[in-house]
A and B are shown apart, each in its own frame.
Chain A
Amino acid sequence: MYDVIIIGAGVSGCAVARELSRFNLKTMVLEKASDVCEGTSKANSGIVHAGYDAEPGSLKAKLNVLGSRKMAALSKELDFSYKQNGSIVLCFDEKDRFRLEELKARGEENGVEGLRIIERDELLAKEPHAGDEAVAALYAPTGGIVCPFGLTIALAENAFVNGVEFKFGQMVVDIQKQETGYLIKTDKETLEAKVVVNAAGVYADQIHNMVSENKMEITPRKGEYLLYDKNIGNMASHTLFQLPTALGKGILVTPTVHGNLLTGPTASDIPDKDGKETSREGLGQVTQKAALSVKGIPGRQVITSFAGLRAHITKFERGGEGAKLSDDFVIEEVKDAAGFIDVAGMESPGLSCAPATGEYVAGLIKEMLHPQEKQEFISTRKGIINMFLATEEERHAKIKENPAYGNVICRCEMVTEGEILEAIHRPLGATTTDGIKRRTRAGMGRCQSGFCNPRVVDILSRELKIDESEVKKSGEDAWYLLPLEEKEM
């Protein structure tokens, strides 16, 4: 019997796991994919929102401001990439200026610090490529950018090191209430837990509906993005949002923590919870709208495009007083299922909130289980060395320690064999090329793994002692090569 089983190894689930690992609790994270960070957490804007957007008094507002304040310290504690680059909301029409003021007032009510309206000349000083139509902007110095994989993996590794178990490749198919706790049936086994945390992203409705009569419906809201070469990563230094206009919600242009330029997302509600395909129309829309914020982004510098799904709650019959559907997160003990905690509707700003979400949920569980704090909790975690960014001395030392750090595998991002070996052999190590990519950036550069793919497949096959045909991109069916027997060569 587990004390807590967390369903879903996205950023919210991993944040909860890490906070719970401070206590003497037997905790497990169950994930249907083959790695952490395989759903919404891997395909989003990578933004740490300042917190002016959310409705005052909402959980979104509270956790966002808190999460954003915690992010810098957490990034040092757990060694992931984060940068407080400041964000800017662009206003393109004098008639809309009052909306900037509204936003500023809302932000201040939420407790966001340093908000300021800036005029076009100051905007241009901050962002020389800002669009011609931008007349004024809201400047939020506390806005930031984060590596969403880096954050999620760091949380997961730290939780794991502190005793949380992780099970991958297991999908929850049924949950039954027991006298104490719950029986969780996966496609492979049955597990028992006193407390269940539902952090299943776009599938959180299905998990919720297994235990509650108050049905929930989550409609994935798809967002398409374009990622640009590092060559033009300096075309924006802040995260540039657009004030929503009559034409709809704007899209953002932002540098990433790794120095690329990112534009997106679109927003379209789709029925398919796996519908992560990009479309010509969507990508066209992103290009067109991004040009409003930053002019002259060269189309030929696109290195990849992707789509992510935000878990947007479209129906939730809470019953009783909470019946009205709000736009807020649902983070609470389910009314008709004691000991079952939803962490649902974790759309934007879910990533920014993660550090606060973890603490908030751990707080709920503390009330239920009254656990003891661990003496031996390890609060810090050291990430994989980045040979590209390392100093000359650090590089020398690393190569001396293991010559594999001198062998460059991914030429675009300059990732060495040593880093890839680390990614495979560290706690909760990578087992797929996507896992390697998210831990080391091998394959994330401008050639998009054209050069390093055969080399990474070879290393994974060697280190995991499996045939190359068993090396996958991500899931079971994501094979690269046919078995040798099938095709006589």
Chain B
Amino acid sequence: MKTDLIIIGGGPAGMAAALAAYEKGIRDLLILERDKELGGILNQCIHNGFGLHTFKEELTGPEYAVRYMDMVEERKIPSLLNTMVVDVQGGTPCVVTAMNREKGMFKIEAKAVVLAMGCRERSRGAMNIPGTRPAGVYSAGTAQRYVNIEGRMPGREVVVLGSGDIGLIMARRMTLQGAKVKLVAEIMPYSGGLKRNIVQCLDDFGIPLKLNHTVTQIHGKERVEGVTVSKVDEKLNPIPGTEEFVKCDTLLLSCGLIPENELSQGAGAQMDDTTAGPVVNAKLETTVKGIFACGNVLHVHDLVDNVSIEAEKAGEFAADYILNGEEDWGEAVRPKIPEKSKCTLPEGRDAGSQIICIGCPVGCLITVNKKEDGTLEITGNTCKKGEAYARNEVTAPVRAVTSLIRVKGGSGRVVPVKTAGEIPKGKIRQCLEEIGAVVANAPVKTGDVLIQNVAGTSVSVVATGNIPVGNIPAV
């Protein structure tokens, strides 16, 4: 088999790279994806917050993925699903070895390859958390897949370690599905998550965030029975005497992502210790001839929008390489690594009166006091918008809700949904009850209205993913 361009990975990076190469005139190209559909990890990120840069609107993960899938489909860019790439070699031509059920083990020759394999989560073992080794310790992404794709609950009482966005989002997700999230522990003195997520995923549900704390022991013989949470000193070492036992049956780990570079290393690409990705030049070409890299395999990105932008460039560069031949490699250029967001909060903050402004990245801590005459005294904001936000948060807060609706006769048990607009915060519970009571009939398409006028808010609940007809029985 021969082609011009192979893209390894059909997530946001792979799809954007393929589309960009197509726009440059490459018609003989192929996406190799190990999962059963394109979209990558976006498919299980059913919350919103994606696409503000790319599409100038706020989308959920599956919606963002579907937009790209539609573009890939319109251009008839071929992909092989359920296909695992086991080896990549650079040169003229590059050779990709892959496996799947239908073709067995096969080799494809290509003029260029774009690596877009994404990243994986740090495991419990990699963090070396002491204790027993029971069931119930999940990386946040594994739990997210169970809940959002398979419609299964991985536990009842949860402790989350790590306050990156995935950890915060999963704290809310588990709560919305009926679990009790005891606390989120974060070893650093700040949260690595977005302020909005601290407000809307933890504060809204009264979930405590314990900064400078970590899990120092896992208990339970067969299933997790609890964890020991300890305070840490400036060197991140646990402080003796601060241990607290927290009863739970589930520990979710959200402690960082690692670019998945087994294939890059197998190809002989030089690696960058700082990014944990391959070394690339200004054209995103690795040190191996004909192999380009983009997205989270290159370095862990903060926003999917930035993955798409970078991947488009990689697609274009790969197309140039195919059409115009190679140029001098030039020098290594380290991709710009986004500064890690550091959300610091005062200890013992009262989330009811001390509000983190989410209007901009500054994230002012605004204090709202109700005066005797009933007016609000608002301090701590540094701009007018902040004052308005705080006033609104105290008087009439609104939220968009993302969750799941059960599906009958589909290829999946659940379909991700969202409220088409924001609803009063006080209506969230009722909204969830109504969402829980509905069973949709497959097929369900993105944008289908599944509930009208949810909780009397005149806002509807719409599907944000596609569930074709299949044979998985309803829950």
Contacts and interface: CB of A to CB of B under 8 A. Distances in A.
Interface of A: 226-227, 274, 276-280, 282-283, 300, 302-306, 392, 395-396, 399-400, 403-404, 406-408, 411-412, 414, 416, 446-448, 450-451, 453-454, 458, 468-469, 472-482, 484, 486-489
B437 to A, nearest CB: 9
Given A277-B219, A473-B134, 4 more contacts: A404-B101, A406-B100, A487-B178, A489-B414
B48 to A, nearest CB: 20
A147 B186 CA distance: 38
Contacts of B136: 480
A91 to B, nearest CB: 30
Contacts of A416: 99
18 contacts: A227-B125, A277-B132, A302-B125, A302-B128, A304-B125, A395-B99, A406-B100, A406-B102, A407-B101, A408-B84, A448-B125, A474-B222, A477-B223, A478-B223, A479-B223, A482-B155, A487-B178, A489-B413
Contacts of B154: 480-482
Nearest to A467: B152
A396 B104 contact: yes
A352 B145 CA distance: 42
Nearest to B253: A450
Contacts of B223: 477-479
A484 B414 CA distance: 12
Interface of B: 34, 82, 84, 86, 99-105, 120-121, 123-126, 128, 130-136, 138-139, 141-142, 145-146, 150-156, 177-178, 216-219, 221-223, 238, 262, 404, 406, 413-414, 436, 475
A189 B86 CA distance: 50
Contacts of A279: 130, 217
A465 B101 CA distance: 23
Nearest to B237: A280
**Most chain B CB neighbours (cut-off 10 Å) among A274, A399, A476:** A399
B141 A450 contact: yes
A489 B126 CA distance: 33
Given A392-B105, A472-B135, A447 B155 contact: no
B133 A479 contact: no
Contact of B100 (A392, A407, A484): A407
Nearest to A409: B84
Nearest to B155: A482
A89 B20 CA distance: 59
A274 B223 CA distance: 14
A473 B123 contact: no
Contacts of A458: 150
A120 to B, nearest CB: 31
A454 B36 CA distance: 14
B113 to A, nearest CB: 18
Nearest to A477: B222
A454 B146 contact: yes
Contacts of A454: 142, 145-146, 150
Nearest to A432: B135
A450 B177 contact: no
B105 A280 contact: no
Contacts of B151: 489
A305 B222 contact: no
A450 B120 contact: yes
A479 B249 CA distance: 10
B143 to A, nearest CB: 10
Contacts of B125: 227, 302-305, 448
Contact of B406 (A396, A403, A489): A489
Given A274-B221, A280-B216, A489-B153, A305 B102 contact: no
Contacts of B133: 276, 306
Given A450-B141, A454-B145, A408 B99 contact: yes
Nearest to B404: A489
A489 B440 CA distance: 12
10 smallest beta-carbon distances between A and B, as pairs: A304-B125, A399-B104, A478-B222, A473-B135, A403-B101, A408-B84, A448-B123, A477-B222, A478-B135, A475-B222
Contacts of A411: 34, 84, 262
Nearest to A403: B101
Contacts of B413: 489
Given A406-B102, A447-B121, A481-B152, A489 B177 contact: yes
A481 B167 CA distance: 19
A481 B104 contact: no
A309 to B, nearest CB: 12
A207 B294 CA distance: 61
Contacts of B217: 277, 279
A487 B153 contact: yes
B475 A300 contact: no
